[in-house]
Every structure is written in structure tokens, then in C-alpha cells.
Amino acid sequence: MNYVESPWSEAAAWVEAIGAIAAVIGSGWVAARDSRAARGREERAEAAAERREARGVLAAKTAALNLAILAATQIHDLHVRLVDNAWRGRVTRVSASRALLATERMLTAFPLQTLTEASAMVEFSRFPASLATAAEVYANLEMAVRAAEETDRDRLFDASNDQMARLDLATRRQLGALATALGLDLTAFSDLAPAPVLATVEASTSADPTPA
């Protein structure tokens, strides 16, 4: 006797087949959704890490420029003081060279590698040397003034003033070059230092080295 499937059994088989196909499609959709979600989480985590790194680099650049502004400001201020007769009388009692050396130590302790770019590292590394030069000029001046006769002191101050004028101008140029290497705008730091210190490279090049 031949067995003939009823319409109901055929329908049940079709339903079962469709259900199996739907299950396969559904599992694939769930897997794709989970994969997209995982990829999205990874991308968000990567973007957050990049933002943190960018903030860290910007913070390091800002700190480096702030230190350089401090150094340039000290050198400029001491240059200006050399033409002040009232301050000249105090040079043997107030050692400016010590303050310069303290700032130099701060700059030499700065982690250069956080600036990431070689050009910025090179420009920043010039400032400790500038401070050391200024400290040497003042240390020599302090010793010479103590040993000199009163009538010879003006000549010593004038000679040191000439040295500080050149160093002041060179340091301002270096400051502009550092800001350029760091990709920062010096005008945004105008509240940290006198205007002559924040002059751009072009303005410094044409500036009169005699302090205003």
C-alpha cells in the first residue's frame, strides 16, 4: 500500500523548513548586530584614546611654551633693569643669577620627549642655554662690580647691557620659533608676559635691541 502524504503533513514540513531558514537568518542577523556593536565600542574606545593623547600633547606643548615665556621674560626684565640706575645700586645685594639658574633647572627637568616633534624639542632646548648665558653675564657683573671702583662701574654695566640686549633679542626670536614649531599662537599667551617678549619672529628681527 502506497503512503501518500496529506496536505497537512506537507504544510508542516514547509513550516518546519521555513522556521529553520528563519532561525539561520536570525542567528546571522544577531551575530552581525553583535559584531557591529563590538566594532562600534572599539572605535569609540580608540577615538577616546586619541582624544586623551591629543589633550596630553597639547598640555605638554602649552607647558613648554609657558616655561619658555618665563625664561624670556626673566631675561628681558633683567635687560631692562640694567639701564635703571636705581637698580644698578642693588646688583651686589640681589643676586639675579640665582633666579636665572633656578628657572634653568626647571627647563632642563622638562620631559622633552612629550613634545613628540624634533623641531619643537630643538627649539625648546635653546632656552636653558640662554638662561645659563644670562646667569653667567650677571654673575660676572656682580663680581666685577664688587671689585671695581665706583667710577668704573658704569662702564661695567654698559658692557653687560650690550650683552643682555643681544641675548634678549635672540631669546625673543627663539620664542617665536618655538611657538611656530609647537603650532601655538603666542598672542593667546599675552597675559603671561610683557608685549616685547611675545613679539613674533618677524617683529623681533626688526626690533631695536634697546629695551623700551
Give the pLDDT of residue 98. 75
Burial class (CB in 10 A: 0-12, 13-18, 19+), 112: middle
Percent of the chain with pLDDT over 90: 11
Give the pLDDT of residue 127. 93
Under a CB-based contact definition with an 8 Å cutoff, are residues 72 and 193 in contact?
Answer: yes
Percent of the chain with pLDDT over 70: 66
202 residue type, one letter: E
**Residue found by looking up cell 522556521 in the block:** 19
- Whether this prediction's pTM lies above 0.75 is answered by no
Length of the chain: 212
Rg, Å, the chain Cα set: 35
Q: How confident is the model at residue 92 (pLDDT cuts 50, 70, 90)?
A: low
DSSP states of 181-194: HHT--GGGGTTSS-
**Selection from 72, 41, 22, 81 nearest residue 177 by Cα:** 72
107-112, long-range: CB within 8 Å, 24+ apart, which pairs? Answer: 107/67, 107/68, 107/71, 107/131, 110/63, 110/64, 110/67, 111/60
Q: How confident is the model at residue 119 (pLDDT cuts 50, 70, 90)?
A: very high
CA distance 103 to 76: 14
